[in-house]
Amino acid sequence: MTIIDLQNGQPAVPPDRVAGFQMLVPVKTLADAKRRLEPTMGALRADLTLAMLSDVINAIRGSSRVSGTLVVTADAAVAELATAHGAHLLREASSGGLNRALEAGFAQLRQAGATRIAIVPADIPLLTGADLDHVLQSIETHRGTVRRGVIGLCASRDGKGTNLMCLDQVDECDFRYGRNSFHLHRKAALAAGYRPVTLTSQRISLDIDTRADIDHYLAICARHPAYRCSHTWRFLQAHGFATAGDRVG
């Protein structure tokens, strides 16, 4: 395990295997994470964030097309969990927003020689290694048909957010996370001369921002027992968020 730390200027480490994708996972400080869930969860939203991050990192580790994971955060508890799960770490001195965190992580990975970078947020609890293999394979197929790089984008359920971004042979990227980021990322890719590719995955498209998202997630887990071994499911069930019909003994 290698820690890359912006606070003390340690240099980035070379990716473990250059051929694979490097996953970049930005995570807000727990005090700022999941603000829209505060009326529903209160202080529990911090622990929910950690549970979802555990599931995301485990899913990444299950992908055969990923060589390493870099978590970018200014939060000590997030950093501890990330390194415990075997991820590399980029510690921010302070939280400056999602796009700034991604700019820093992308720059470190490019400096280290990575040419294939994929970005996923920490709140995609249905993510699996098989999902990543599928979308990353799709990117590799498109990469062979263009002269410049490819930017693959998987939208959130409402079609507005960006729940996965794959950057293959991309030298620089204008990160536009926030409102309508999916459209803005496509526009920025075209302006930079890269091919934007739309990726589809129902599991990747579900991020957890509202109580309605939680209910949708629980309904899926109730129908598919395989998802009920996740940290996120167990956390929500333990704290009474699963309805009586969703609970399993």
Condensed to tens digits (0 to 9), the pLDDT of residues 84-142 reads 999 999 999 888 889 999 999 999 999 999 999 999 999 999 999 999 999 999 888 87
Look-up: residue for tokens 């299950």? Answer: 62
**Is there a domain that residue 88 lies in?**
yes
**Is there a domain that residue 228 lies in?**
yes
Q: What is the pLDDT of residue 16?
A: 46
Q: Residue 243 — very low, low, confident or very high, per pLDDT cuts 50/70/90?
A: low
- The answer to whether the beta carbons of residues 30 and 74 sit under 8 Å apart is no
Range of the domain at 196: 3-238
Total number of domains in the chain: 1
**Is there a domain that residue 133 lies in?**
yes
Q: Any idea what the Cα angle at residue 182 is, between residues 145 and 42, rounded to 5°?
A: 140
Look-up: residue for tokens 């939060």? Answer: 75
> What DSSP designation does 97 have?
-
Condensed to tens digits (0 to 9), the pLDDT of residues 183-239 reads 999 999 999 999 999 999 999 999 999 999 999 999 999 899 999 999 999 999 999
What single letter denotes the amino acid at residue 231? Answer: H
**Is there a domain that residue 247 lies in?**
no
**Is there a domain that residue 198 lies in?**
yes
**Is there a domain that residue 243 lies in?**
no
Structure-block tokens of residue 133: 């293999």
Closest CA relative to residue 73, chosen from 38, 13, 16, 30? 30
- The answer to whether the beta carbons of residues 209 and 36 sit under 8 Å apart is yes
**Is there a domain that residue 168 lies in?**
yes
Q: Model's pTM, two decimal places?
A: 0.90
Structure-block tokens of residue 75: 């939060």
CATH number at residue 141: 3.90.550.10
**Is there a domain that residue 206 lies in?**
yes
